[in-house]
Amino acid sequence: MAWNSQYFWILWLTAIVLSLGAWRCEGSERIKTERSCKPGEVYGCVSGHGPPGCSENECGMGPRPRDCYFDCALGCWCTGKMYRRKRDNKCVLKHECLL
């Protein structure tokens, strides 16, 4: 019985160490992605589905609708009142959408 409990604790500790190691790797990937965001973008979680424009403001679409779904897509998104311009994929102010 004592051997069984020792194996249990060894397996339990191994599982925790492996889980923490995987979590650290995910965190390092996030830091790399955050650093790759362009000017006017912020790394975060935004609704990835729903009506067009749910994830961020897009040139020619108007402001984001309020009835977006609650799912989450991690990535670089245009901040605040910035709009995603399709031709060059940059975040710009609304009056720069047609430039």
The model carries a pTM of 0.55
According to the model, what pLDDT value does residue 90 have? 93
74-to-28, 33, 37, 70, 98 alpha-carbon distances in Å: 14, 10, 12, 13, 28
> Who wins on pLDDT, 77 or 46?
77
pLDDT at residue 69 is higher than 60: yes
Note whether 26 and 14 are same-domain residues. yes
Strands, E assignment, the chain: 41-46, 73-78, 83-85, 90-92
For residue 74, the cross-strand partners are 45
Total count of domains within the chain: 2
Structure tokens at 88: 């060059």
Note whether 50 and 74 are same-domain residues. yes
> Who wins on pLDDT, 70 or 43?
43
pLDDT digits (tens, 9 = 90+) for 9-62: 777 777 665 565 544 444 445 555 567 888 899 888 776 555 555 667 888 876
Note whether 41 and 19 are same-domain residues. no
Q: Which domain holds residue 62?
A: 37-99
